[in-house]
Amino acid sequence: MVDAEVKLSVRGLRISYGDHVALDGVDLDVRANEILGIIGPAGSGKTSFLRALNRMDELDTAMTVEGDILFDGRNVRDVRNVYALRRRIGVVFPLPVGLPMTIYDNVAFAPRIRGIRKRAQLDEIVERCLRRAALWEEVKDRLKALGSLLSGGQQQRLTIARALSQDPDLLLLDEFSIAVDPVTTMRIEDVLRGLKDELTIILVTNLVQQARRLADRTAFFLNGELVEVGVTEALFTGPVVDQRTRDYVEGRFG
C-alpha cells in the first residue's frame, strides 16, 4: 500500500462557513485502493472535508472552499461537468435516502441518466450492484417493491448499491452506521472490504474501533485541524506524533 499511486491529493484545504472556519491547512493524500478512515469528535470538520471533495459545497452558499483538491492529478475545480465528477466520486450519507421508487429503479436510475436503456443491460447492472452491496439475495424476488419498505439496514445497503451503479473510482461514506444495527454494520463492513479491490474508499466514522477494523490508514481531525494520519494499527498502538491522538483513540475525550 505504501507504494500505491495517489488517487486524491489535498493541499492547503481551508473550509469556512461565513466567519466560522471548519477546516484549515489540511494536506492529505489518499492512495488508490485503500480505505482511509477519518475519525474525530463532532464539529472537527470531517463531513465538511467529504463535501469539498466532489464539490457539494456548491449546494451551500454559506460554504467556502480554498486550496487544491487533485483527483487523478486534476483539480476538481477545473472539471467543467460537476455531474460527471460526482459520478466518479460517489457518496453514501449517514441516513439512507432512497429515491421514491422501486428497488430496481433506485439502482437503475443513474445508468438510465447515462443513456442506458436496454433492459438486459440494466438487469445486469442492477444485479451486479445489489450483489456488491450484499443485498441481492434478500431482494431479488421483490425488485418491484418500493425501496422505502426495506429495513433501515437494507435501505443503507441499497444506497450503497445506488452509489455503485455510477461506477465510481472513489466512494465517500459519512458515518453509515448511525441508522443501522450492529449486525448490519458488520455486513456493510464486509462489503467495504470486498470493494477495496475495485475502488478507493474514504470512511468518516464516529466509531473509533470501526476505523481500526476497516481502515488501512486513519486520519484524526480535531477542531478543524488534521492532527495526524498514519497506518491504522500504528496509530492505535504505536508511538504518535501528538498526544491528542492517543487521548482520543483511548476514549479520554470525544
- For residue 217, what is its C-alpha cell? 490508514
Range of the domain at 172: 6-249
Number of domains in the chain: 1
CB 134 within 8 A of CB 154: no
Cα–Cα–Cα angle for 179, 51, 174, nearest 5°?
20
**69 DSSP β-pair partners:** 10
In a domain, 82, yes or no: yes
Cell numbers standing for residue 177: 452506521
CATH number at residue 225: 3.40.50.300
Q: Is residue 79 part of a domain?
A: yes
Asked whether residue 169 is domain-assigned, the answer is yes
- Per-residue pLDDT of 93-135, as tens digits, reads 876 666 789 999 999 999 999 999 999 999 999 999 999 999 9
Residue 53's CB is within 10 A of a number of other CB atoms, namely 23
The CA distance from 140 to 131, in Å, is 10
- pLDDT beyond 60 at 2: no
Asked if residue 42 is part of any domain, the answer here is: yes
Mean pLDDT of 164-180: 89
Residue 254: inside a domain: no
Residue 13 forms part of a structural domain:
yes
Using pLDDT thresholds of 50, 70 and 90, give the confidence band for residue 184.
Answer: confident
Residue 134 Rama label (left phi>0; alpha psi -120 to 50; beta): left
* Residue 33 covered by a domain: yes
Write the CB contacts of 154 (distance below 8 Å, at least 6 apart in sequence): 135, 138, 139, 184
pLDDT digits (tens, 9 = 90+) for 191-211: 999 999 999 999 999 899 999
Q: Is 93 inside a domain boundary?
A: yes
The b/e string for 3-29 (b: 16+ C-beta within 10 A; e otherwise) is eeeebbbbeebbbbeeeeebbbebebb
